[in-house]
Amino acid sequence: MQRLLSTTLCVLIVGCAQGGQQAPGADPAPRPDLSGMWSDPPASAVDHFCFITCTEAGITHLSALLDDPANDERPYNDLSREATRHQNETYIRPALAPEVAKAFPLDPADDPGFLRCEHWGVARQIFAPHQLEIRQYVDRIEMRYAEWDGRRTVYTDGRARPSGQVASPMGYSVGRYEGNVLVVETSGITANLAGIFPAWFKHSDQLTIVERYTRGADRNRLELTATINDPVSLRQPLQFKKAWGWAPDEQIFPYTDCQPPTEFKKAADTP
């Protein structure tokens, strides 16, 4: 009998309920239970803003806009867009290296996933919307994402990245538990894109990521805070947040339907 440790990963607020079944080799030592299926969080104003990812700067600005009586008649989507512009221009852009900042934010039409059906690298995949499935074992954690059916392994047995390990889009991840927090460190990532539109930018193969996953007190939320650092593309580290809600009845299916466009013109190319 396998028992999946029911768990949640999140960036803003963590939570989850109901334990699963334990898989062979499951670690009996006390540690946060994050295993199971997670998906979209409850539809609060902040969760809607952070549906894919957000920053503390954006959350703070959105909260101020919502609390201002002068904005009572403004549609929420207008306030959300204003908060997004604020975080992009006051928090993300100043942290980018000059050449990277010139192209920020990237045009969604330049997305290689759209143009060539290229699977996302880890710096985008960790912020993917919708389902995230986590399985915890004694020596590792397996993560599966609905977007592109992305998969990664996080080793929790104390190993370090092997010398000479070939870099890859998903990198090499090692993890540890700090009380009720799962900490994941990823390196060995090939140059790619970080973040998800409208806050994405190009990163180099020097990128490293530290993720911290926490499950909410109500057991139904998983929160993630991810700190990314790249001495080539960034002047200083950037921190992003995300949250999921407990979704034990949802599933992830193979991603087989991508077809690159055969006739496509960017808006800038249209007369």
Indicate the range of 11-25, 86-100, 156-170, 230-244 predicted with least confidence: 11-25
Report if residue 65 sits inside a domain.
Answer: yes
CA distance 191 to 203: 6
Report if residue 135 sits inside a domain.
Answer: yes
Quote the mean pLDDT of the chain: 85
Report if residue 4 sits inside a domain.
Answer: no
Report if residue 270 sits inside a domain.
Answer: no
Taking the CB of residue 11, how many other CB atoms lie within 10 A of it? 26
**Parent domain of 129:** 36-247
What pLDDT digit, counting tens, does each position of 55-85 carry? 999 999 999 999 999 999 999 999 999 999 9
Report if residue 222 sits inside a domain.
Answer: yes
Q: Residues near 215 by Cβ (< 8 Å), separated by ≥ 6?
A: 7, 8, 9, 10, 14, 15, 16, 32, 33, 34, 180, 221, 222, 223
User: Is residue 198 over pLDDT 70?
Assistant: no
Q: What percent of the chain has pLDDT over 70?
A: 83
Read off the pLDDT of each residue in 175-184 and give the average, rounded to a whole number.
Answer: 96
What pLDDT digit, counting tens, does each position of 145-160 carry? 998 899 999 999 999 9
CA distance 125 to 11: 14
What pLDDT digit, counting tens, does each position of 222-236 carry? 999 999 999 999 999
CA angle 134, 220, 48 (to 5 degrees): 95
CA distance 176 to 155: 8
Helix or strand (DSSP H, E) at 172: strand 172-178
What pLDDT digit, counting tens, does each position of 10-55 carry? 334 333 333 334 444 545 456 899 999 999 988 788 899 998 899 9
pLDDT score of 2: 32
Preceding peptide of 108 cis, ω within 30°: no
More confident position, 111 or 103: 103
The tally of domains found in the chain comes to: 1
CA distance 220 to 47: 14
pLDDT score of 45: 86
Report if residue 66 sits inside a domain.
Answer: yes
Report if residue 109 sits inside a domain.
Answer: yes
What does residue 263 show for φ and ψ, rounded to 5 degrees? -135, 115
User: Is residue 184 over pLDDT 80?
Assistant: yes
Report if residue 24 sits inside a domain.
Answer: no
Confidence category of residue 191, pLDDT binned at 50, 70, 90 = very high
3-state secondary structure of 13: coil
